[in-house]
Chains A and B, each alone.
Chain A
Amino acid sequence: MDGSLTDNRDLRNRLLLAGNAVFSEVGYTGATVDDLIARASTSRATFYRYFRNKDDLFDELSRACFQDMRAIVEELGRVRAGDVDAAEIEEVLTQYRDLHARHAGVFRAWWERVARLDPEVPAEEGHVFNRLVESLTRFVSDARVESLVAPEVQAALLYLLVEGSYAAVTSRWSRIDPDALAPTLARMVHRTYLGGDAPRRASRLRLV
């Protein structure tokens, strides 16, 4: 029935797509192999021909997601605080949003783990996120905003802000227009770190 190579790939892909959809809807913990099979309209036998279990399928989704993410992180690494405008920040945020939409299941599962303080967030994810925070730290340090909060903590918070906002906006109970997110967040980040359209002098920040 699915003897040819193309068919095999199709089935495998179908299971992966089903996995992403199911994980994004019910979360990683809540999803069962039966859910994945039902969504892909295939059989248990077929599932186990391609994957050992739910984890195995998730790992593959996860790898694809973090490969895409690395591309964005590398781009972010090239951004320097001195010569970036709000539109460029918005562009990065929009790319990140597309990434979120493509890999919704992985993000939901990852967020579940972070929220439960699961120490076993896989190494690769940890690595990409560390790189992301490093890039942001450079950006924050370049901007020289005075604060008691260390640049790397500010960077991690910026990341959590973006991640949390996307999670909030894409959740099924949100009434926020997803298209409004990137422009407003980009302007907020830009104004905080680069003074926005205010004179450069005003980028010195007083903690009151």
Chain B
Amino acid sequence: MVNEARTTATRPAPRRPPRRAGERGRSARNHEDRWTDIVERAGAIFYRKGYEATSLQDIADSVGMLKGSIYYYIKTKEDLLYELVSRAQDMFEATLEEDEETARSPAPVRLRAFIGRWMALTSREREWGLVAEREFMRLSRRRLRRVIERRDELSGYVKDIIRQGIDEGAFDPTTDESVGAAAIFELMKTSHLWHRPSGPLSMAELGDWYATFAIRGLGGPRWRDRDPG
């Protein structure tokens, strides 16, 4: 819910179809569907051709509408990129939600579970994840700042887990938790740059190694040795 509200708030409002509060009419829904269609097709083309090489004409052709009509929804190609990156961030923010049992668990368990959720999503949303990660730095300064803030929120979650692990005596207290979190995200985010779904290694297996590297690297197995089960 929070995510949805956030996406709506950050959309390029001026050219959006005018809507009154509470409106649930058919045309409003059609506009929503059209908009989603445009964003999804833009994502697919950015994935294939790269953001820079894609023109609004390419996107219009793919949606099957006139280029002029696209300007009803957006002002610039960058509006589309921002929408895509924001939607990708909404999806990845959902991986911060833990079930109650995991939330009460020791840090190594929570960390492994989080990496698992993130990699499962990466595997499902390969295209968007890749486009967002590869192109987000092309956004304008103001939007980039917002995107970076949201990235910082994500890494804040992992930093909290690392701190918890240090408090529990599982992780090395000399760890810089910002570096630890950055390392974990760098590993996870490189996956879609090179991983081939048709290859012998699944994203889940890869994620398992990331978790092992992270937990072991931070000092976790010693906790496991001391307190098995």
Residues of A within 8 A of B (CB): 29, 114-117, 147-150, 153-154, 156-157, 160-161, 164-165, 168-169, 173, 175-177, 180-181, 183-185, 187-189, 191-192, 196, 198, 202, 205, 207-208
Q: How large is the interface on B (under 10, 10 to 19, 20 to 34, 35 or more residues)?
A: 35 or more
Tell which of B2-10, B87-95, B213-221 binds the partner: B213-221
Distance in Å from the Cβ of A28 to the closest Cβ of chain B? 12
The CA of A149 and the CA of B213, in the complex, are separated in Å by 11
Closest A residue, CB atoms, query B221: A202
The CA of A29 and the CA of B50, in the complex, are separated in Å by 13
The reply on B54 being an interface residue by CB < 8 A is no
Query: B213 contacts A192, CB within 8 Å?
Result: yes
Closest B residue, CB atoms, query A184: B179
Query: A185 contacts B212, CB within 8 Å?
Result: no
The reply on B100 being an interface residue by CB < 8 A is no
Query: B174 contacts A187, CB within 8 Å?
Result: yes
The CA of A5 and the CA of B52, in the complex, are separated in Å by 42
Query: B52 contacts A160, CB within 8 Å?
Result: no
Please classify the interface of chain A as helix (H, G, I), strand (E, B), loop, or mixed, using the class held by over half of its residues.
helix
Distance in Å from the Cβ of A178 to the closest Cβ of chain B? 10
Query: A160 contacts B186, CB within 8 Å?
Result: yes
Closest A residue, CB atoms, query B51: A116
Given A116-B50, A160-B187, 15 more A-B residue pairs with CB atoms under 8 Å apart are A29-B52, A116-B134, A117-B193, A149-B201, A149-B206, A164-B190, A165-B179, A168-B182, A169-B179, A173-B148, A184-B180, A188-B214, A188-B217, A198-B221, A205-B212
Query: B176 contacts A183, CB within 8 Å?
Result: yes
Query: A180 contacts B218, CB within 8 Å?
Result: no
The reply on B208 being an interface residue by CB < 8 A is yes
Taken residue by residue from 178 to 198, chain B's Cβ proximity to chain A (1 for < 8 Å, 0 otherwise) reads as 111011011101100110000
Beta-carbon contacts under 8 Å, B149-178 to A: 152, 172, 174-176, 178
Contacts A185-B179, A187-B175, A188-B180 hold; do A168 and B186 have CB atoms under 8 A apart? Answer: yes
